[in-house]
Amino acid sequence: MEQTWRWFGPDDAVKLPDIRQTGATGIVTALHHVPYGVVWTVEEIEARKSQIAADPTLGLRWSVVESLPIHESIKIGEGNLTPYFDNYRQSLRNLAQCGITTVCYNFMPVVDWTRTELAHPLPGGGTALRFNLHEFAAFDCFMLQRPGADAEFSSETLARATEWYERSSETDRRKLLNNIMAGLPGAYDRYDIPGLRVMLDRYRGIDRDALRANLARFLREVIPTAEEVGIRMCIHPDDPPRSLMGLPRIVSNEEDIAFILDAVDSPANGLTICSGSLGAGAANDVPGIAERFAERIWFAHLRNVAKDPDGSFMEADHLGGDTDMVAVVTTLLEEQKRRKDAGDPRWRIPMRPDHGHELLDDVGKPTHPGYPAIGRLKGLAELRGVMKAVSTLRDLPL
């Protein structure tokens, strides 16, 4: 698999020479400064490519777009969407013209990945990302004051949420809001409480079926263009794979993925397998999902989580959580061999170590939450070892 690394652009605290030291050669990035719904021009794309390739001794290339964001109006299905679809299609054409042909995206309404703690303490002084269901319930019920929110949590969770809220300070509450918003690391807009209420009101009446229909419409609009220009689109699962703030989430399990891939049956309509996002769902068999949809997996996020019975979870070591990472990696390597044997010139699946613990000299550095250098380097080294061992034992191409 091609070893890649997420980079948030020139302002990222992790610099391109640092990335090369990890052993990664592919860069996963986006034009985060371009507002949602606006065309990514050839000039902007080439400028970012030039930044990545400026030092040829590093041997880096822009391998994957993560992500080409979808305007919220498309998800809601409101207003005249033709300009947004036109712009998205033009961005795909421009990316293909520049030689970038793997595009990761998501269809999560309002918020992206969501955590309530960004620095949960680990033994020895490191930190991890964590999602505490009772803290999210406190946010939803008492800070956001969403009507009907309390009906979506158990009595035990509500009791813990009430206790947390009653003893929390204004500083604690501001921190919780900021933590939840931190899951939009490349977002053009973030929300305060009033802004969130406005966004939730826009989604009034959008249930699971309606959101699915809006995603299917998006796919019908853009996948033919992606196929025409050689782009492989790969949707990212919901993180966490559960409803948040009453908003439906529709990329959370095996059934959801099957619906999406069947909605437009094209090789251009593919999947980003994220072992951490799917792994946070108690009912999800992540190795089984990888095996079922292997032929449509174009990108892999490899990380692990340790789940609690109430639905809370924490980012674990890449090989130390609830998901059998060896089984997932084996499936991906076997799929690579199938593609190579079939003559696919793009047989190698790009992968990146997703989310890492904040460790050693990275503690306190201004890196994006979940994206410190050392924790991801540790994860990549572990995953590289698994890949090498499986490849050697099963005679599979790396």
Give per-residue pLDDT as tens, 381-396.
999 999 999 999 999 9
Q: What are phi and psi of 98, to 5 degrees?
A: -90, 5
CATH number at residue 333: 3.20.20.150
Residue pair 234/346 in contact by the 8 Å Cβ criterion: no
Residue 351: per-residue pLDDT: 98
CA atoms within 13 A on the CB side of 397: 11
Q: How far is CA 392 from CA 137, 162, 319, 398, in A?
A: 47, 53, 19, 9
pTM score, whole prediction: 0.96
* Helices marked H in the chain: 16-22, 42-53, 72-76, 82-97, 133-138, 155-167, 170-181, 193-202, 208-229, 254-263, 275-279, 286-292, 325-341, 373-394
**Is 143 part of a structural domain of the chain?**
no
**Is 141 part of a structural domain of the chain?**
no
Phi-psi region of 395 (alpha: psi -120 to 50; beta: other; left: phi over 0): left
What are 382's two structure tokens?
């572990």
Per-residue pLDDT band at 287 (split at 50, 70, 90): very high
Q: Which residues participate in catalysis according to the annotation?
A: 236, 274, 301, 354-355, 371
For 321, the domain range is 2-114+200-394
**Is 353 part of a structural domain of the chain?**
yes
Separation of alpha carbons 117 and 370, rounded Å = 11
**Is 245 part of a structural domain of the chain?**
yes
**Is 140 part of a structural domain of the chain?**
no
Separation of alpha carbons 23 and 78, rounded Å = 45
Separation of alpha carbons 219 and 215, rounded Å = 6
**Is 183 part of a structural domain of the chain?**
no
Q: Using the structure block, give the residue that is written with the tokens 């309606």.
A: 210
Q: How many domains does the chain have?
A: 1
User: Span 108-117, mean pLDDT?
Assistant: 94
Separation of alpha carbons 243 and 225, rounded Å = 31
Residue pair 60/16 in contact by the 8 Å Cβ criterion: yes
Nearest to 139 by CA among 84, 197, 96: 197
Residue 227: per-residue pLDDT: 98
Other C-beta atoms closer than 10 Å to the C-beta of 358 total: 26
Is residue 297 classed as helix, strand or coil in its secondary structure?
Answer: strand
**Is 162 part of a structural domain of the chain?**
no
Q: How far is CA 172 from CA 73, 166, 190, in A?
A: 32, 11, 19
What are 88's two structure tokens?
């998205």
Residue 171: per-residue pLDDT: 98
Residue 190: per-residue pLDDT: 74
**Is 170 part of a structural domain of the chain?**
no
Query: Tell me: the pLDDT tens digits for 144-196?
Result: 999 999 999 999 999 999 999 999 999 999 999 999 998 876 555 678 999 99
Q: How far is CA 380 from CA 135, 204, 294, 302, 374, in A?
A: 31, 42, 21, 9, 10
